[in-house]
Structure 1
């Protein structure tokens, strides 16, 4: 599913190539004004650098991505792809690279307004109610949250997990990313995962959906299944439900 990179080429080079391809295919949004401040109730802002809607890219720009049905996710050598199931439906994908991870989940959204501002406030309120700490931040992915979430450690004691929440409003969809592990603490480690978020393509479909309904995903045709619970080298200890390194009844390894 992933191409093999040449000797000396790093993961960032692969994503830069995808970004260059997408910038050539993406519809020109230069005539649209950039939004400022809070965007609750406003139309989605332009996304010249992604994430992209499936209708905004040509076929050639989809190459090099893992087809999960509702999401086309860029691939990086050495990355593991894990899926999260709700009932019989796959609703989220977690991409693990070393000691870092990003969970991607797409939702239906209203046609005329973005919901990330509203969702961001709800996430922050929920974490604070649990006794956590949340700071709003503006990064190269726009407005997001950096949080310390209370969790229960394997030995039964209480601790915190550091996570970043990022989001983007698109045409009738909303894409949320949860960055954890080393990338939640170090900007250098987060760079590749941020590019993964930017270069993701959302396939909303034309079927009627209520706002916030999850966009259902599916496994790639060539997925190699790994039994749940199999030990993984370099995986940190479980830190509760937010820990993507220990989530999902199904796992695919992508080489």
Structure 2
């Protein structure tokens, strides 16, 4: 019953095993892999899910969009996507840099296990005293997604649930162009927002910005 298999059966068995391997049931997703269809805001390099109970803003550096911010009641989720090497991730490196930056600013940071693997639980200096922030990192194929959870969700698991589900449903669009590791993947306004701004400009009205500037949380590339 547990005897040695014949050599000629091995390739067939291996092929059957690959064919029967279950697909992942949650993301973040790469745009090139199968993923659930749902309503998402198309920001170019990121497609961020939308739904009741939260709103999406843009994180800006001057006129450049560098990330998205999801607001849910007393909590915020900041997400940014970066290029990464093909064969190895960069979360270990980025996590160490983040911890050093927080500590040099007078805060605290320690590693712990979370729903996406190792994360960084930090307290960063802010108005009214230290502010709790959870830093999450997910290494994907040639990309890296960094998320920062702040506010109530940084401490309350129930409040964190809706924002963690947003992370699980994000789609990263890396593109095929060569990019150095750690370079931010380009984001842009969704088509409908650009069209609205063009109409406003043609009408001679002030620029329409459908997204407000999101919170800046320990910006580190």
2:66 maps to what in 1? 91
What is residue 54 of structure 2 aligned with on the other side? Answer: 79
- Tell me the equivalent position of 1:131: 106
C-alpha RMSD over aligned residues: 2.7
Determine whether 1:181 maps to 2:151.
yes
How many Å separate the matches in 2 of 1:227 and 1:179? 19
1:1-255 correspondence to structure 2 within 5 Å: 30=21, 49-57=26-34, 61-151=36-126, 153=127, 159-223=129-193, 225-226=209-210, 241-242=216-217
Cα offset for 1:173?
A: 0.2
TM-score with structure 2 setting the length: 0.76
The answer on whether the counterparts of 1:146 and 1:162 sit within 8 Å (CA) in structure 2 is: yes
Check whether the contact 2:40–2:50 (CA below 8 A) recurs between aligned residues: yes
Q: 1:149 to 1:115 in 2, by over 3 A?
A: same
Query: What secondary structure, in the 3-state scheme, does the structure 1 residue paired with 2:106 have?
Result: coil
Q: How many positions carry a matched residue from both structures?
A: 187
Contact 1:62 1:72 in 2 (8 A): no
Q: CA deviation at 1:87?
A: 4.0
Question: In the superposition, relative to structure 1, how do residues 47 and 161 fare at CA in structure 2: closer, same or farther (>3 Å)?
Answer: farther
Q: Secondary structure at the match of 1:222?
A: helix
CA distance in 2, matches of 1:65, 1:113: 28
> Residues 116-161 of structure 1, C-alpha deviation per residue, up to 9 Å, x if partnerless?
011111101111111211121101111101111012x2xxxx6111
- For structure 2, the 5+ residue unaligned runs are 1-17, 194-207
**In structure 2, distance between residues paired with 1:30 and 1:115:** 27
Relative to structure 1, is the Cα distance of residues 118 and 30 closer, same or farther in structure 2, using a 3 angstrom cutoff? farther
Instruction: Give the superposition deviation at 1:29.
Output: 9.9
CA distance in 1, matches of 2:105, 2:68: 25
**Given the superposition, is the C-alpha separation of residues 28 and 202 from structure 1 closer, same or farther in structure 2, using an over 3 Å criterion?**
farther
Distance 1:227 1:62, change over 3 A: closer
Cα deviation, residue 226, structure 1:
4.8
SS in 2 for 1:84: strand
Per-residue deviation, 1:89: 2.3
